[in-house]
Amino acid sequence: MAPPHTPSRVTLPTDLSGSLKSLDDAQLQRLSEAVGVEINRRARATTQNKPTAVAAPTRPAAKRRNKIREPDDIPAGKVNLIRASFRAGLKPPAIARTLRISESLVRRVLGPADNH
């Protein structure tokens, strides 16, 4: 009897940004959409796995708005994803929508040098 099929792991190229440059616009758009779908799927899976027995106290909206997230407050992987997405041709509003973060945070991560 044959062993069950296990999907092989995908290995990203060592020069990811260089590889992205070789994609045409349609391929890059398909890749961007697929990455967005996968990020959303994982986010939903994470929220579904969290215990909900005790409801956490909610903070008033005014206090939530006062917390300003700096680029140092987000994980390095997300910072790299923002920068790679921008280099691949995505605009800051599209990056913000895909990653579900504010456009101002995307622009702060990109900084004045990247934000042309």
Q: What is the mean predicted confidence (pLDDT) over 74-103? A: 91
How confident is residue 84, by pLDDT bands cut at 50, 70 and 90? very high
Which has the closest alpha carbon to 116: 96, 73, 94, 87?
A: 87
pTM of the model: 0.40
C-alpha distance from residue 10 to each of 7, 13, 75 (Å): 9, 10, 22
Q: Would you state the pLDDT for residue 86?
A: 93
Q: Check pLDDT > 60 for residue 67.
A: no
Q: pLDDT digits over 2-60, tens only?
A: 556 666 777 777 888 888 888 888 888 888 888 888 888 888 877 776 665 555 555 55
Contacting residues for 71 by C-beta, under 8 A, at least 6 apart: 79, 105, 108, 109
